[in-house]
Structure 1
Amino acid sequence: MSLDHTKHADHTEHADHTPKITDRTPKVIGTVWGLLILNTLGSAGAQTIVPLPRSLIQMVTMGALVAAFALALAVNLRLRIRASAFVFLLTLLLVPSVIASADLESGLGALFRCARLALFVGTLWLLGRWWDGSLTFVRHHIRMYFAVLGSVAAGLVISPGAAMPELYGGRLVGALWPLTPPQIGQYAAVIIGLTVLLVLGRRTDRASAAVVIVPSLVLLVLTHTRTATLGLFVGLALAIGSLILTSAAARRFFTWAVLCAAVAAVGFSSALQVWFLRGQDEENLSSLTGRAKVWDALLAAPRTTAEKVFGTGLGDKSFGGLPIDNSWLAVYHEQGLIGIALVATVIIVLAGVALLRPPSLSRACAIFLISYCAIASYTEAGLGDASPYLLHLALAASLLAAPAAASHLPAPAVPRRRAPRRVPRWARNTEVS
């Protein structure tokens, strides 16, 4: 699979004649990004074919984060960093996290999660040196998550029963690595959207894109993940909409997508309804599979002023033993109102910068990622801690970063040539008669 096809220039990119620093991204940066993704895969999920102790999984994921930080530090020993509002806001998010976790009400695990978040943010600071608005990190993102989906597909082939257990209603899970259906749906939706945009921008050929899109779409359908599917469609619509005025390929794709969606809605309405309902009754669907009950209980729980402002400390994104499954309520519970303000500022800043940028493929990819994370935040937690959603937003920040321009140094002074010394005529003849 190749995603480096650049034979045709992207006509949506604006010309930039500003001299740029020749600081190529080291190949090891792709490894660092892959290790960050491995760290955010999590340790909770379905039963795998070969039982994996949770302690072993946590050791692998935390080891990946430490290795990512060490490698990033090794290639950036001089600690050259670029100013980044996104990473700065994540650094500020550490403040309420540490304050709320310091009283140990949530146990030592809260301080451990704070240290994990600090390492995660520190690695992003080190990587920010190579954020220049290019598609380098997009390709790393697609390749790593496609490898994760490859493990899911392998588990489905090896043991279909373990990959689609009755415990999850026959939805696809990770049988080799413990992954839940929403996780798999999220990874599939994100790389499908990014690959479609690369095709529209003529940054990869259709054959290579089909290798990524087709199997990922099949896995997305098997997960029955409504949030990921909605995020994919809405995110792509907004991203392609940002290219319509400057890209003929985007206009053609948008037109065909609308026609295909209309035909599918008419011809396959019953099948789509069955897939969407997932066998749930009206009451279960209206309560978002029981999430609304947890949310109501969380909001009704008594809290001190300190807990409202700073939260109760970083935890496992659960309340009363049940998952919160909402980023905003999870942040409110663990990092308080300050955490909500900082996370909202992150989304607003990224969205504002994206709207101010001229139309380009990088901008379209960033819009897709920001809109996807905003939609998924309603039924998924993760915006306040080291998670795939923060990695998606970090990728968006790297796409919106302006290329580093070389500093204009004054030209070295050229020594002025002295005029030849004039010799008097009487002194020119050195012969003595």
Structure 2
Amino acid sequence: MAGELKPAGPDTIGTRPGTGPRPAATPKAVGIAWALLGLNTLGSAGAKTVVPLPRSLIQMATMGALVAAFALALALNLRLRIRPSAFLFLLTLLLVPSLISSVQLEVGFGALFRCARLSLFVGTLWLLSRWWDGSLTFVRHHVRMYFAVLVLVAAGLVVAPGTAMPEYYGGRLVGALWPLTPPQIGQYAAVIIGLTVLLLMGHRTTGSGAAVIIVPSLVLLAMTHTRTATVGLLVGLALAIGSLVLTSAAARRFFAWAVLCAAVAAVVFSSALRAWFLRGQSQENFANLTGRAKVWDALLAAPRTTGEQVFGTGLGDKSFDGLPIDNSWLAVYDEQGLIGVTLVAAMIIVLGGVALLRPPSLPRACAIFLISYCALSSYTEVGLGDASAYLLHLALAASLLAAPATATPLPPAAIPRRRIPRWARR
């Protein structure tokens, strides 16, 4: 992807130390810290791999990545300069019901471990917020990071196609070298496709560079048969491009072509698209959301004390009676109670409200895509209440909506006087 032109650094003479604008060039180590956060969110449970990896080893790798990300972010920001962020403030408040419910140990000591993990995750985001200035720097870090994950998935498909598309997942693509599930792969593919399309429309990357990312990602997304990621990609892009239609000719052209292609595909490939979307399921199974509705009904019908309703039962593995919940709102309600649901809803509402108030721009469009994608995916995926890729997507949206830092002028008496040479005085 083509590099973005950066303006020369501003003159900082007469500005108060610590309150000036962020340096024109973000340290490369910031991207490394962001990638380590992404590694932590890959998880330790999923498909069977070619070389069996002990879960304890994977957990050590992911937790080690989080600790390394925090240490690196702290080393880069020793003076603890942070940017005010309503999103990070609400995310920090989410630690309160998480800790209150987890100390009861109803779900075991793992709840306290997950609280510590979430605390480190939030702390790292606070440290990295120093470089949140509304630019596309973190978008590039995000795309490169998840594209590297997809390269690993593609390598596993080439090395062991049978393991990468197992029968116990209905022939859907999984991670053969790292235990990744089809929804995870579909999520990563959809997010980087959407962001790359927006970068291409904004002339922030070349057509060939975008094709290298979009084409293989689309193939992998189709092989995962992930409906949530596909719908989230289409709706998110529609909203993001719609926010640019009035100010961008490229957005208007792309929107018109997209509508035309969608209409043609709906007519010509209707049966194939329907078969792909149903994934061989019956209409009844599809209406039940592959059995999810039964788990949701049982979770809502389960008796709870007042404390469990308000604060939840503690951070767990996002399951109920041994079955996955597969709904972010119900998972948050189960683990962090009504307070957690309120805080998560406030995070999305605040980000969405700020995005609507910003003038049309490419960073705003990218933020709208990420917010809408996470909001739609929350219906059949979990992750909004714990350290996850979805929280990382929302953090990226918050960085895109952050206003550039401004310098605070020093009073004239505090500006150091420059010594004039004796020869210049004559």
Q: Deviations over 1:322-355 (max 9, x none)?
A: 0000000000000000000000000000000000
Distance 1:32 1:414 in 2: 37
1:63 to 1:414, Cα distance in 2 relative to 1, 3 A: closer
The corresponding residue for 1:383 is 384
Q: Secondary structure at the match of 2:94?
A: helix
The corresponding residue for 2:72 is 71
Q: Deviations over 1:397-421 (max 9, x none)?
A: 0000000011133445899xxxxxx
1:376 to 1:213, Cα distance in 2 relative to 1, 3 A: same
| Equivalent residues in 2 for 1:29-428, closer than 5 Å | 29-412=30-413
- Are the equivalent residues in 2 in contact too, given 1:33–1:140 (CA < 8 A)? yes
Distance 2:318 2:50 in 1: 26
- Are the equivalent residues in 2 in contact too, given 1:326–1:380 (CA < 8 A)? yes
Distance 2:126 2:248 in 1: 34
Shift of 1:22: 3.3
Distance 1:186 1:117 in 2: 21
Distance 1:22 1:335 in 2: 39
- Are the equivalent residues in 2 in contact too, given 1:97–1:310 (CA < 8 A)? yes
Q: Deviations over 1:365-394 (max 9, x none)?
A: 000000000000000000000000000000
Q: Secondary structure at the match of 1:262?
A: helix
Shift of 1:136: 0.4
- Are the equivalent residues in 2 in contact too, given 1:40–1:61 (CA < 8 A)? yes
1:38 to 1:401, Cα distance in 2 relative to 1, 3 A: same
- Are the equivalent residues in 1 in contact too, given 2:77–2:127 (CA < 8 A)? yes
The corresponding residue for 1:4 is 3
Shift of 1:46: 0.7
RMSD (Å), alpha carbons: 1.4
Shift of 1:82: 1.3
Aligned pairs, number: 403
Distance 2:99 2:2 in 1: 41
Counterpart of 2:283, as a letter, is E
Shift of 1:282: 1.0
Counterpart of 2:408, as a letter, is S
Q: Deviations over 1:91-129 (max 9, x none)?
A: 100000000001111110000000000000000000000
- Are the equivalent residues in 1 in contact too, given 2:22–2:131 (CA < 8 A)? no
Shift of 1:24: 3.3
- Are the equivalent residues in 2 in contact too, given 1:69–1:122 (CA < 8 A)? yes
Counterpart of 2:391, as a letter, is L
Shift of 1:5: 5.2
Shift of 1:26: 1.0
Distance 1:213 1:153 in 2: 14
Distance 1:205 1:333 in 2: 46
Distance 2:300 2:222 in 1: 33
Distance 2:127 2:93 in 1: 17
1:364 to 1:414, Cα distance in 2 relative to 1, 3 A: closer
Counting aligned pairs with the same residue, the percent is 80
Distance 2:379 2:219 in 1: 24
Counterpart of 2:328, as a letter, is S
Q: Deviations over 1:39-90 (max 9, x none)?
A: 0000111100000000000000000000000000001111111111111111
Counterpart of 1:35, as a letter, is L
Distance 2:201 2:369 in 1: 14
Distance 1:411 1:153 in 2: 60
- Are the equivalent residues in 2 in contact too, given 1:3–1:139 (CA < 8 A)? no
Counterpart of 1:317, as a letter, is K
Shift of 1:21: 4.5
Shift of 1:23: 5.6
The two structures have a TM-score, normalised by structure 2, of 0.93
Shift of 1:158: 0.7
Distance 1:201 1:219 in 2: 25
Q: Once structures 1 and 2 are overlaid, which stretch shifts more, 102-111 or 385-394?
A: 102-111
Structure 1 residue runs without a partner (length 5+): 8-18, 416-433
Q: Secondary structure at the match of 1:288?
A: coil
Q: Deviations over 1:173-221 (max 9, x none)?
A: 0000000000000000000000000000000000000000000000000
Q: Once structures 1 and 2 are overlaid, which stretch shifts more, 76-85 or 258-267?
A: 76-85
- Are the equivalent residues in 1 in contact too, given 2:164–2:174 (CA < 8 A)? yes
Counterpart of 2:299, as a letter, is L
Distance 2:2 2:178 in 1: 26
Counterpart of 1:216, as a letter, is S
Structure 2 residue runs without a partner (length 5+): 7-19, 418-426
Distance 1:210 1:159 in 2: 26
Q: Once structures 1 and 2 are overlaid, which stretch shifts more, 178-187 or 403-412?
A: 403-412
Counterpart of 1:121, as a letter, is V
Distance 1:26 1:224 in 2: 38
Counterpart of 1:97, as a letter, is S
Distance 1:174 1:119 in 2: 27
